[in-house]
Amino acid sequence: MRDKIFIDTNILVYAHDLSAGDRHTGAYAIVEKLWEDETGVISVQVLQEFYVITTRKILNPLKPQQARELIGNYLAWPVQVNDAELTMRASEISEKVNLSFWDALIIAAALRMDAKKIITEDLNHGQIIEGIRIENPFIKDS
């Protein structure tokens, strides 16, 4: 079985934002590979943020129905629901690692899903948090 990979909102948005240029191309390829390998995992938080950003904040917003259809597709992936225990764990991670609560909630969700990696643009590339490697696909390792 292949390692699970948690995808953060920004990568998911770029994958569906045709105006994002090279980021769109790169993110789309990542999402395609996760579909192909059946290794992608996600959280409700990511789906919620995806809906808001793609219908309101990108250059060419999606129609709400389009965004809902995409979310419906991603429900085929394992989806972590944020519950009270996850909220508590996120608050602990936030304090311990000095992250925003929302970033810590991503870490907590990935941790609960046994993800080995989080693909994101929002955290420090190469950092290991709670045993999970952070990877920014737009930074080239030297």
When divided into structural domains, the chain yields a total of: 1
139 found inside a domain = no
pLDDT attached to residue 140: 81
Per-residue pLDDT of the chain (142 residues; tens, 9 = 90+): 699 999 999 999 999 999 999 999 999 999 999 999 999 999 999 999 999 999 999 999 999 999 999 999 999 999 999 999 999 999 999 999 999 999 999 999 999 999 999 999 999 999 999 999 999 999 987 5
Q: Provide the H-helix boundaries in 1-142.
A: 9-16, 21-37, 44-56, 64-74, 84-97, 101-112
Cβ neighbours of residue 123 closer than 8 Å, sequence gap 6 or more: 99, 103, 129, 134, 136
Whole-number Å distance between alpha carbons of 96 and 27: 30
104 found inside a domain = yes
pLDDT attached to residue 142: 54
We report the CATH number of the domain holding residue 37 as 3.40.50.1010
Whole-number Å distance between alpha carbons of 111 and 71: 22
Domain encompassing residue 9? 4-134
Which pTM value belongs to this model? 0.95
142 found inside a domain = no
Cβ neighbours of residue 112 closer than 8 Å, sequence gap 6 or more: 80, 86, 89
